Amino acid sequence: MRAFVVSDHATAPSVIEMPTPTPGPGQVRIRIHACALNFADLLMAKGTYQDTPALPFALGMEVAGVVEALGDGVTSPAIGTRVAVFEGSGGLAEAGVFSAERCVAIPDSMPFEQAAGFIVAYGTSHLALTDRGHVKKGDRLLVLGAAGGVGLTAVELGAKMGAEVIAVARGPEKLAIAKAAGAAHVLDSETADLRAEIKALGGADVVYDAVGGDNFKAAMRATNPGGRIIVIGFASGDIPQIPANHLLVKNIDVVGFYWGGYLKWAPERLAKSLSQLMEMYEAGQLTLHIGATFPLDDAGEAMELLRSRKASGKVVVTIAQS
């Protein structure tokens, strides 16, 4: 089979031929149709991600396809089932082996491209806003990186939860996408005084931040007393240091959120969240925004688009089946 493989952290990944894997105990082999990229893929390629696999390995954490073989002890999902799965790697390939218990059956109505990017993007925002941010109707929700893969779903879900969403993104095209997703207000991240513009709208009760850097600092200073800041990630590359005296004076909570962590310590909450999201999809309430698609041969270009932060929504690699 063909796969987009990291052979050396000092050189760029490339598409190579490698043996088709055999599923082990508790695993299934999936004939992969689509793989969505995540910021963690960029870190894995460099060897700087906390869960980087041993070399060599195929990138791709988030995939959708059809089950074609079962390992020992596996009875479900059955061969022929359409599934999506999130695991550490292996998705940018024509086939891959994954844990059977992590596979989520997807509706026949859901295209593989949608399914590939659905679990992490919507799962992250849904659990972050409900389980960590405790967003309620009437809250003013500030979303940083609002046109990105997870940020856009936070805008959409926040609006559906009854929050007044302030979306921060870069440039008029991305702001228009965030507005269409349900944002009540849109602010350009390049504005001269982001803090002042947020405060002029009434400040933030909840902040959803996947960016970090200077935008985090501005958002924290514009957070209302008693507010909550959810730390999702640091796409800017700048991990901010938080002055504890600001938290004390304004009674602000800063909470971390790592969706993958729920797989280990609270899988039942994650499963419940995904079930609710699939119900919303089947009811026509959610549609993943895919900013760009690439064939497997152009996976390097897809990675570069993600790295440039010029993409809106999810970047998906489609994998032709022979």
Q: What is the pLDDT of residues 241-291, one digit of tens each?
A: 999 999 999 999 999 999 988 988 898 999 899 989 999 999 999 999 999
Res 322 pLDDT > 80: no
Residue 15, judged by CB atoms within 10 A of its CB (0-12, 13-18, 19+), counts as: middle
Q: Residue 21 carries which DSSP code?
A: P
Global pTM reads 0.89
Task: For strands 57-58 and 2-6, give the pairing.
Answer: antiparallel
For residues 32 and 64, the answer to whether their CB atoms sit within 8 Å is yes
Mean pLDDT to the nearest integer, 70-89: 95
Mean pLDDT to the nearest integer, 224-233: 96
Q: What is the pLDDT of residues 123-159, one digit of tens each?
A: 999 999 999 999 999 999 999 999 999 999 999 999 9
CA 14 to each of CA 9, 17, 26, 210, 297: distance values in angstroms, whole numbers, following the listed order: 12, 10, 29, 28, 9
Mean pLDDT of the chain: 94
Rg for the chain, CA atoms, rounded: 20
Q: What is the pLDDT of residues 118-129, one digit of tens each?
A: 999 999 999 999
Beta bridge partner(s), residue 287 = none
Task: For strands 164-169 and 140-144, give the pairing.
Answer: parallel
Task: For strands 185-188 and 164-169, give the pairing.
Answer: parallel
Q: What is the pLDDT of residues 191-220, one digit of tens each?
A: 879 999 999 999 999 999 999 999 999 999
Q: How many CB atoms lie within 10 A of CB 288?
A: 23
Q: Which residues of 84-98 are buried (b: 16+ CB within 10 A; e: fewer)?
A: bbbbbbbbbbbbbbb
CA atoms of 169 and 151, how far apart (whole Å): 9
Domains of the chain and CATH, by start:
2-119+263-318 (3.90.180.10), 136-257 (3.40.50.720)
